[in-house]
Amino acid sequence: MDLNALTTFVEVVTANGFSAAARRLGMPRSTVSLRVRSLEDTLGVRLFKRSTRTVVLTDDGRRLFEKAQGALSTLRSVAQEFEVSRQELTGTVRLTAPADFPTAPLAQAVTAFRRDHPRVFVDIVMTNAVLDLVANDVDVAIRVGLDNPQDMISRRVAAFEYGLFVSVAWLEANEVPTSLGELHPFVGPPPAVCEFLARIVFGGERLPLPSVGTNDYQMIRDLVLRGAGIGLLPRVVCEADLRNGRLAQVLTESIRAPVQMSVSFPTRKDITPRVRAFADHLVECLREPSRIAIEEIAVRTCERSKGPSVRETLTALTQVRSGLD
């Protein structure tokens, strides 16, 4: 059914005539008559009893008008809502980030975005599982060191330097390793993560299986500080410990490249305005973290470690801003 013809029919009824409807619609009377005739042909019924002076609805016409008037009104309301949503962002944005990703800058970014767009709701999933954006109904993903699918856009926001670190006390009691094969005891992330880091950070050289493995870098740092072995860590996690002489880095010549952090989201043809606006905002916030957000991370790190000062940890955390586009 032609909705234009149906709209014209309703207008003829409410205007009490073809000529009045033509004036309201801004079209020739002949066009109005043609549309109504086309609608009658489509439905196979007569909608009006016509005479030279009056136009009266038939029973079929009256029944159609009663149902069509409400339906068209609903369609107009829906169209208006979409028109408004183009000007004011609404709906839900689903975000995923690694479970151990610092929450302070993320919370600040989300809060600032919702301050400007209060009708947008943000659903955050913190997990180390790599969620598929389509299958898991995710709009934006913060990825650390992962390849981006070809059907997604990836915006690089930071680069993390990794290294092999030991406690100074352990180093004094043990021989310094001269190759990756001599890493023992090795403290590191799970095997799948080690394989990835071996490919990116160490240029494809193999890493041994961890003697102690965990998916929490703060735990790796604490284990290394207590002499559990040689730990694979992002440098930002232990920069302050290096400065105050609690940790030392070994095999620096084995490091080939940093690990990139990026924000991924759908391609331009699939992305909604609210998701694009949120993704752009998140990229800018993570590229330029405010001093307040960084200080919050520093304080939290110091509270957990009972070790380095806020100033030392703050210096370390600002390293996250290196390696930007």
* β-pair partners for 153: 265
Same domain, 16 and 58: yes
User: Is 317 domain-assigned?
Assistant: no
Prior bond of 185 cis (ω within 30°): yes
Same domain, 155 and 263: yes
Same domain, 280 and 168: no
Same domain, 184 and 140: no
Give the model's pLDDT for residue 292.
36
Give the model's pLDDT for residue 82.
65
Which domain range does residue 77 map to? 3-86
Q: Which amino acid is at 325?
A: D
Give the model's pLDDT for residue 323.
43
Q: Which of 86, 101, 125 is the last residue of a domain?
A: 86
Give the model's pLDDT for residue 242.
94
Q: Is 246 helix (H, G, I), strand (E, B) or coil?
A: coil
Q: Is 49 helix (H, G, I), strand (E, B) or coil?
A: strand
Same domain, 194 and 146: no
Q: Which of 54, 86, 118 is the last residue of a domain?
A: 86
pLDDT in tens, the chain (325 residues): 788 888 898 888 888 888 888 888 889 999 999 999 998 899 899 998 877 667 789 999 899 888 888 888 788 777 766 655 556 888 999 999 988 777 888 999 999 999 999 999 999 999 878 888 888 889 999 987 766 665 678 888 888 889 999 999 999 999 999 999 999 999 999 888 888 889 889 999 999 999 999 988 889 999 999 999 999 998 888 989 999 999 999 999 999 999 888 999 877 666 888 999 999 999 999 886 543 344 344 334 334 444 443 344 344 444 444 444 4
User: Is 303 domain-assigned?
Assistant: no
Tally of domains within the chain: 3
Same domain, 10 and 40: yes
Same domain, 169 and 250: yes
User: Is 321 domain-assigned?
Assistant: no
Give the model's pLDDT for residue 135.
82
Give the model's pLDDT for residue 294.
40
User: Is 269 domain-assigned?
Assistant: yes
Q: pTM above the 0.85 mark?
A: no
Q: Note the pLDDT tens digit of each residue in 140-162.
A: 999 877 666 656 788 888 888 89
CA distance 279 to 154: 10
Q: Which amino acid is at 276?
A: R
Q: Which amino acid is at 38?
A: S
Instruction: Say if CB 198 and CB 206 are below 8 A apart.
Output: yes
Give the model's pLDDT for residue 305.
40
CA distance 325 to 315: 21
CA distance 259 to 94: 24
User: Is 69 domain-assigned?
Assistant: yes
Same domain, 188 and 203: yes
Give the model's pLDDT for residue 263.
92
CA distance 297 to 168: 26
Give the model's pLDDT for residue 216.
87
Residue in the block written with tokens 């909608």: 47
Same domain, 275 and 129: yes
User: Is 322 domain-assigned?
Assistant: no
* β-pair partners for 167: 247
Give the model's pLDDT for residue 268.
63
Q: Is 73 helix (H, G, I), strand (E, B) or coil?
A: helix
Domain CATH code at residue 53: 1.10.10.10
> What's the burial of 108, exposed, middle or buried (CB within 10 Å: 0-12/13-18/19+)?
middle
User: Is 315 domain-assigned?
Assistant: no
Q: Which of 70, 86, 102 is the last residue of a domain?
A: 86
CA distance 321 to 259: 13
CA distance 98 to 117: 25
Domain CATH code at residue 149: 3.40.190.10
